[in-house]
Amino acid sequence: MNISEAVPLLLTFAVICLSFIMSFELLWKSRNLPPGPTPLPLLGNLLQISNGDLVKSLLKLSEKYGEVFTFYFGSRPYIMVTGYKSVKEVLVDRGDDFLARGDVPAFDVYYKNFGVAFTNNIERWRELRRFTLSTLRDFGMGKKSMEEHIQEEAQCLVAELKKTKESFFDPKVCLCKPPCNIIFTIMFGNRHDYMDEELLIVMSWIHETFFIMSSIWGKIYDMFPGIMNFMPGRHQETFRYMKKLMLYVEKRVEMNKKTLDLNNPRDYVDAFLIKMEKEKMNPKTEFHLTNLVTSTLQIFFAGVETISTTITYSLLLLLKYPDILAKVHKEIDQVIGRDRTPKVQDRHQMPFTEAVIHEVQRFIELLPLGVPRKTTRDIMYRGYSIPKHTNVFTVLSSVLKDPTCFPYPNEFNPKNFLDKNGEFQKNDAFMPLASGKRICVGEALVRMELFLFLVNILQNFNLKSAVPPEELDITPEVSGFGNIRKPYKISFVPR
């Protein structure tokens, strides 16, 4: 046999051996994990995803295998946890066992286990989280001073919308600018004019990355990161945007450094630089440049696209349900009127509006799978032994639509948050920001921004759709890491 005949034979033999080893590895790994569909070597449970819809497929699988089951992304097992009771158990009751961040390969390539949101090093996370929460509070998160910033930004947004002169347009870009400016102010101490090139370009990098990661490209990359690194496709674009975003943050950190006053921090970056200075003699400190740049970018990312997508989705839902829009308008007129600036305190007199804002977040399930976690040690869970560092998805979608918790789980219906007297009613299964010790850092900011931006818009404008409400499609365009709405056109008619 000559060499050219031997090569294909050797290759076939190598593939068979590899498949065998991987099957063995899969079986070995899944010794006593929760049940689930049988994975294929290399492919894992790829074939169990029907019509490319990961979330729906997972919910279907939970009907067969129970609330907790195992699903393979390529050769990595993920424990899928569904339903309010099980998710609460994982995030809250046994939170410490599931506190580490899970793999998000598209981000991990850049963050390399640094930064507050994506590190799985618990000690690092603890230090950075404590610092981040107290610094965000110092710069006004959840307080009056932040409320004033958001009110000013909302006024700028209203002025911008007035300039559109009732024309029909997709509100995506317009509604991304205010939350982006709020994060700019907190992190770098300044806002940008709405026509500013820098604001527009940074927004577009964040938006494109979030969109591609939520599309089929993101899913395939997460399953086969090793191979996909070398394959062409839209996932390659996210690498370019992430690189640009990292460089941008590094540039902004350098700018802060040049004008830093150690006694007078102006923003998050300044506060971090001061902490670095204080800890410079500590060789084990977590306050170094890498954690500064990655944490800043992660907070930036988390705080822009989430709020703007929620606001654009809210307006789409209000166009679809004009009777609900009319009730919100009525409540705004009764409680605030048309002349006074809305304030956060008004929420307490506006149960219907408050219910609508909650219902939007519940219904759109912005991050349907949550953000993955990992076990922090070998644990026994429901009779299964789950090794340390196993990935876990708490499927938030299954909590937000849990029929045992909400009377109208699959409808957009504010009654999900109203009692029989029309008063706002809290619900423990309302977990769009997850729950427990690693709950979204921006919780207080989300509450303020959504209320003030939406109420300011609706105080000033009637919403008009370019097509009849029946023709508006409220299902997401892509559903994966995030749920992103389909494009639509809206006109803002001054009231």
Query: Could you tell me which residues come within 8 angstroms of residue 319 by beta carbon, excluding any fewer than 6 positions away?
Result: 325, 463, 464, 465, 469, 472, 488, 490
d(CA 248, CA 242): 10
Short-list 353, 302, 301, 304, CA closest to 327: 353
> Does an H or E element contain 52, and which?
none
| Number of residues this chain uses to bind ligand HEM (CB under 6 A) | 24
Token pair, residue 68, equals: 């907790």
d(CA 241, CA 243): 5
According to CB under 6 A, which one of 209, 215, 306, 391 is a site residue for ligand HEM? 306
Note whether 343 binds ligand HEM by CB under 6 A.
Answer: no
According to CB under 6 A, which one of 299, 316, 325, 360 is a site residue for ligand HEM? 299
Q: Which stretch binds ligand HEM (CB under 6 A): 254-262, 409-417, 426-434, 457-465?
A: 426-434
Short-list 334, 356, 358, CA closest to 346: 334
Note whether 413 binds ligand HEM by CB under 6 A.
Answer: no
Please give the torsion angle defined by the CA atoms of residues 181, 184, 186 and 187, in that order, rounded to the nearest 10 degrees: 170
Closest approach of Cβ 81 to ligand HEM, in Å?
A: 11
Fill in the per-residue mask, 246 to 265: x = in contact with ligand HEM (CB under 6 A), - = not in contact: --------------------
Residue nearest to ligand HEM (CB): 442
Note whether 177 binds ligand HEM by CB under 6 A.
Answer: no
Give the 3-state secondary structure of residue 384. Answer: strand
Note whether 303 binds ligand HEM by CB under 6 A.
Answer: yes
Short-list 191, 154, 192, CA closest to 175: 154
Q: Which stretch binds ligand HEM (CB under 6 A): 32-40, 265-273, 298-306, 352-360?
A: 298-306
d(CA 315, CA 311): 6
Q: Which is nearer to ligand HEM, 396 or 405 (CB)?
A: 396
Q: Which stretch binds ligand HEM (CB under 6 A): 231-239, 418-426, 427-435, 453-461?
A: 427-435
d(CA 404, CA 136): 36
d(CA 198, CA 440): 27
Fill in the per-residue mask, 429 to 468: x = in contact with ligand HEM (CB under 6 A), - = not in contact: ---xxx---xxxxx--xx----------------------
Note whether 55 binds ligand HEM by CB under 6 A.
Answer: no
Full DSSP string of 347-368: GGG-HHHHHHHHHHHHHH-SST
Closest approach of Cβ 269 to ligand HEM, in Å?
A: 14
d(CA 296, CA 273): 12
Fill in the per-residue mask, 107 to 146: x = in contact with ligand HEM (CB under 6 A), - = not in contact: ---------xx-----------x-----------------
Note whether 308 binds ligand HEM by CB under 6 A.
Answer: no
Closest approach of Cβ 174 to ligand HEM, in Å?
A: 18
d(CA 48, CA 71): 9
Q: Which is nearer to ligand HEM, 22 or 180 (CB)?
A: 180
d(CA 84, CA 434): 11
Q: Which stretch binds ligand HEM (CB under 6 A): 146-154, 251-259, 262-270, 306-314?
A: 306-314
Q: Which is nearer to ligand HEM, 465 or 479 (CB)?
A: 479
CB 475, CB 300: distance < 8 Å: no
Note whether 325 binds ligand HEM by CB under 6 A.
Answer: no
Closest approach of Cβ 260 to ligand HEM, in Å?
A: 22
Q: Which stretch binds ligand HEM (CB under 6 A): 52-60, 143-151, 202-210, 305-313?
A: 305-313
Note whether 307 binds ligand HEM by CB under 6 A.
Answer: yes
- What residues does 491 pair with on adjacent strands? 464
Residues of span 10-29 touching ligand HEM by CB under 6 A: none
Q: Which is nearer to ligand HEM, 328 or 366 (CB)?
A: 366
Note whether 100 binds ligand HEM by CB under 6 A.
Answer: no
d(CA 124, CA 279): 14
Angle of the 351-364 helix axis to the 443-460 helix axis, nearest 10:
120
Closest approach of Cβ 444 to ligand HEM, in Å?
A: 9
d(CA 12, CA 2): 16
Short-list 429, 233, 203, 404, CA closest to 308: 203
Q: Which is nearer to ligand HEM, 41 or 149 (CB)?
A: 149
Q: Which is nearer to ligand HEM, 224 or 313 (CB)?
A: 313
Closest approach of Cβ 310 to ligand HEM, in Å?
A: 4
DSSP helix, strand, coil percent of the chain (3-state; round to 5): 55, 10, 35
Give the 3-state secondary structure of residue 80. Answer: strand
* Residue carrying structure tokens 């979330």: 55
Residues of span 367-386 touching ligand HEM by CB under 6 A: 367, 370-371
Interface residues toward ligand HEM, by CB under 6 A: 116-117, 129, 298-299, 302-303, 306-307, 310, 366-367, 370-371, 432-434, 438-442, 445-446
